[in-house]
Amino acid sequence: MKKNLFWIFLFTFSILFAGCKKTAYEYSFQNPDLRVEQRAADLVSHLTLDEKITQMLNQTPAIERLGIPPYDWWNECLHGVGRTEYKVTVFPQAIGMAAGWDIDAIRLMGDYTAEEGRAIYNLSQAKQDYQRYTGLTYWTPNINIFRDPRWGRGQETYGEDPFLTASLGESFVNGLQGNDPVYLKAAACAKHFAVHSGPEWNRHIFNAKVSNYDLWDTYLPAFQTLAEAQVAGFMCAYNAFEGQPCCGSDPLMIDILRNDWGFKGYVTSDCGAINDFYRNHQTHANAQSAAADAVYHGTDLDCGREAYLALKQAVEEGLITEAQIDVSLQRLFQIRFRLGMFDPKEKVPFSSIDSTALESPAHKALALKMAQQSMVLLKNDGLLPIDKSRLKKVAVIGPNAHNPEVQLGNYNGFPSRIITPLDGIREELGDDVEIYTDSVIACYGPTPKSFAATMNQVKDADLIVYAGGISPRIEGEEMRVEAPGFYRGDRTSIRLPQIQTDLMKALKATGKPVVFVMMTGSAIATPWESENIHAILNAWYGGEFAGKAIADILFGKYNPSGRLPVTFYASDNDLPDFEDYAMNNRTYRYFKGKALYPFGYGLSYTHFDYAWEHQPEALYRDNETIHCSIKITNSGKWTGDEVAQIYIKYPQDGTRLPLKELRSFARKTILAGQSEAIEVCIPVAQLAKWNEEAGKQVVPKGTYTLFAGGDSEKEAISAVFDIQ
């Protein structure tokens, strides 16, 4: 018996010892138990100069002798995984998600997007498919400030306000990157750094000039927030800043990003931006000097045009050292290690995500919810919501009534099904209601001599839904479109194209109730429509469920709750020169005119009342925090979401300060007749503005006003306080 026990003990001990024995690795970088900094340094030490340079291009080749597979850094997930061959969930365009003012929904959208991205990555790796748009490094979010509604890429942003942009951007990054202590679920990238928001046609030669005040007040806050949130990457912009290309900017790339903010992640160029150094900006003589300068300034990756292939010549000419190149290589490989790309599957918690994640029921439910939240009811004379039991015939007409492509915005993926306004209304009304539909016109173009045929078809309708606006095929990134009101992706006028106004005038003349469903990625001036049309619903580019969300709002299944993340101006005359980056008279913070629809605006089917539960103190100092609490009561008959917005009015003492500024917000679902309380905490230090004399940001002294309400002009309650 003792002999048997001895052998049992010996066998058990040998098993335990074998389990504890560490795996032998040929190279240290293969050991997942080492710190990523150690692993990256070791890997880079084994590379030749030629290999190093090719690993600094977005499309990297394999290094077979080290077991490193090919990888393409370029991927997109602006509002769901973009440009993939797989069917994926498509959420509303970024500007639409911003109109939801929902931090939790944005975070969850980021998480769901990373989940679908991981599924695609895992499927692609299993097939040894290393093509573009299969990787885990997403060049999202776009946190540039939508300072001018003519910018075609403004649809990709979270609007015109730095605080809202920073809040939503941080939430998206946290959702996308995940909270695993070791691995990134996916890698986000803040773009385009910095002072970049149009025009599109001259972005490769444009030299942006702004004051230090505007730089720190408007163009940098969101980037600073994401740097502090440890976003994995930054993308530097095409344009120059104060005479230097952004990817080679002393103040932006060295002083601010790396030194002041201590950013440790990677930086990629926008695609072809390094070539712009010597071909367009003409600040550098050739490719090798441009490449060396970009790497010196911390641009680790060259996307698109392979200017970095000249780095070998740059080393030979003494323009840069191999050691400086190693710094960039180590940053790049640290990201890949943090994504678990070289580790055993059992170590990486996301390696088991499979195709069932794509378009999962939970993801689609969130896409519908965010589409509903995004839509902003701009006008309602009492027509909405519509009692569908009284309808026998409905006309659903216009260029966007049944145009699935419009709803997807840009940088988009493709879902299995897209529900258009026509689809959504038809499904809601069923077979008992006759539906007449016709696109009638294009978004823009000359007005036909007569709309008589259309009017003859709609004259007996009980309701006319006109779905118009514009399209991501005429506003977007550096496009070739030149048409009345549009140029190279930007807009030359913010007015609704005249052909659409003319059609709606004809529809109005029928005497039938008309709803204008406006799809757009930017603010549209609609002076006639706002005065004459019964109801206007701004639906943005609402993603795959836009049509259902529209129908839900029109027929009262969902109480509209979207709020504008941009100012809707009344006319082109309200806008400064497009190329002027100074913030004078721009956005609600500095605009002194009367907006058609102000920042933060949006109607509901119910009414919300505000009251103080606890007012701010009368006096604060720099190191203190403003605390207050607000009671919001739904005094109407509909349950609905209120987006409570808290603004600060700055002292207008002759110095350059905002007229008002968003500093807190909260979305709350409140039952009819019920109340909810929100707590407000605003650190006084967050009110600091650039002081030229001090050479830094300083909290201005003086008398302030804090007010709360449903938009930037609705001061439901207010309180005055001093800062000393």
Task: Please give the Cα distance from 264 to 185 (Å, whole number).
Answer: 18
> Bridge-partner residues for 87, per DSSP?
414
Enter the tokens of residue 515.
Answer: 């709803």
Distance between start and end Cα atoms, the chain: 86
| Distance, CA of 568 to CA of 576 (rounded, Å) | 14
Is the distance from CB of 156 to CB of 106 less than 8 angstroms?
Answer: no
DSSP calls for 357-390: GTT-HHHHHHHHHHHHHH-EEEEESS-PSP-GGG
- Amino acid at the residue 482: E
Task: Tell the residue number behind the tokens 């990629």, with chain if given.
Answer: 268
115 contacts 54 by C-beta, under 8 angstroms? no
Q: What is d(CA 321, CA 149) in angstroms, rounded to the nearest whole number? A: 44
* Structural contact between residues 504 and 529, judged by C-beta atoms closer than 8 angstroms: yes
Q: State the CB neighbour count (10 A cutoff) for residue 524.
A: 26
Q: Both tokens of residue 403? A: 């145009």
DSSP 603: B
Calculate helix-pair angle for 322-338, 287-296, nearest 10 degrees.
Answer: 60
Residue position matching structure tokens 């049944």: 402
CA dist 247 and 238 (Å) reads 8
Report CA-CA distances (Å) from 476 to 154, 398, 405, 541: 8, 21, 14, 12
* CA distance readout (Å), 384 to 531, 537, 557, 631: 16, 10, 11, 28
Bridge partners of residue 632, in order along the sequence: 610, 676
Helix then strand then coil, in percent of the chain rounded to 5, is 35, 20, 45
- Specify whether 270 is catalytic: yes
Nearest one of 717, 720, 718, 719 to 610, comparing CA atoms: 717
Placement of tokens 């006309």 in the chain:
395
Neighbours of 107 (CB within 10 A): 18
CB 212 within 8 A of CB 688: no
Q: How far is CA 141 from CA 83, 180, 190, 229, 267, in A?
A: 15, 20, 5, 13, 14
Give CA torsion, residues 303, 307, 308, 314, to 10 deg: -160
User: Angle 157-225-160 (CA atoms, 0-180°, nearest 5)?
Assistant: 30
CA pair distance 572, 574, nearest whole angstrom: 5
Residue 613: phi, psi to the nearest 5? -100, -35
Active-site option among 115, 270, 300, 428: 270
CA proximity to 488, closest of 152, 145, 144: 152
Retrieve residue 266's tokens.
Answer: 């990677």
| Candidate list 160, 217, 302, 475, residue with the active-site label | 475
What are the beta bridge partners of residue 612?
Answer: 630
Residue with tokens 């970049």: 196
Nearest to 150 by CA among 565, 574, 443, 438: 574
Q: Which two tokens stand for residue 60?
A: 């990297």
Tell me whether residue 434 is one of the annotated catalytic residues.
no
Residues taking part in catalysis: 270, 475
